[in-house]
Amino acid sequence: MLSQKTSQQGCGDIEKYYEPEYQVKWLVLHRDSNRVDFRLCPTDNVFHLHAYQYDRGRTLYVIAFESGVGHDTWSYEFWVLNKDGEFAKVNADEIGIVIPRNIDFLSAGQHLENGFDHEAKLYFDDGSAVFVAEPDLTQPEWRSLQPAYRIIYYWNGENFKITKILLKTQKIIR
């Protein structure tokens, strides 16, 4: 891949990577020592590569793909790089990520309409180094409810730990 600076319109005035054989341009949105986020131009699809250091010298790489209207569709792959430089794909549950269900966001007095209990959405919170789960509030079972909790996954050097945060208000504001 070739790296070049550009001032052309479209993807903006920052660094782009160009693959001439595929006519694909990548816009680098963010880059630091633990993360790179980039957009496939001219689409609005965003890719994230985050690195998390293990306590024992290994590195977890999370590859996330964000697409759809409003970036509401996320998919993930998880890879561990060991000390010998070998990659191994791992499942989300092996690193502490279990996707919450709608019921996990409710307080004891709240109940879902019709008992529907879908999986929550999982995403990077504003590109940070934590995962956040959210219920799909567009689903009919959430018509008369607001989540009582926010669920966040923090990296502790060995795996992700789930933290449930009680929200200040459960009042519906329209």
pLDDT of residue 90: 96
pLDDT of residue 126: 64
In-domain check, residue 32: no
118 CB burial (10 A radius; 0-12, 13-18, 19+): middle
β-strand 46-53 against 121-124: which pairing, if any?
unpaired
The end-to-end CA distance of the chain, in Å, is 49
pLDDT of residue 169: 57
Q: What's the token pair of residue 62? A: 């999370």
pTM score, whole prediction: 0.76
Q: Cβ(63)–Cβ(77) under 8 Å?
A: yes
SS (H, E, C) 67-131: ECHHHCEEEEEEEEECCCCCEEEECHHHHCCCCCEHHHHCCCCCCCHHHCCCECEEEECCCCCCE
- φ/ψ (deg, to 5) at 127: 75, 10
In-domain check, residue 80: yes
Query: How many domains is the chain built from?
Result: 1
In-domain check, residue 21: no
In-domain check, residue 58: yes
Q: Which residues contact 44 (CB under 8 A, 6 or more apart)?
A: 67, 71
Domain with 83, as residue range(s), is 44-166
In-domain check, residue 8: no
168 CB burial (10 A radius; 0-12, 13-18, 19+): exposed
In-domain check, residue 173: no
What string of pLDDT tens digits covers the 174 residues of the chain?
223 333 333 465 444 555 556 666 788 888 988 889 888 887 888 999 999 998 778 999 999 998 877 677 889 999 999 988 999 999 999 999 999 998 899 988 888 877 778 888 888 876 555 788 888 888 888 888 889 998 999 899 999 999 888 887 544 433
pLDDT of residue 68: 74
Beta bridge partners of 4: 16
pLDDT of residue 118: 82
In-domain check, residue 33: no
In-domain check, residue 14: no
Q: What's the token pair of residue 45? A: 């699809």
pLDDT of residue 2: 26
Beta bridge partners of 59: 53, 81
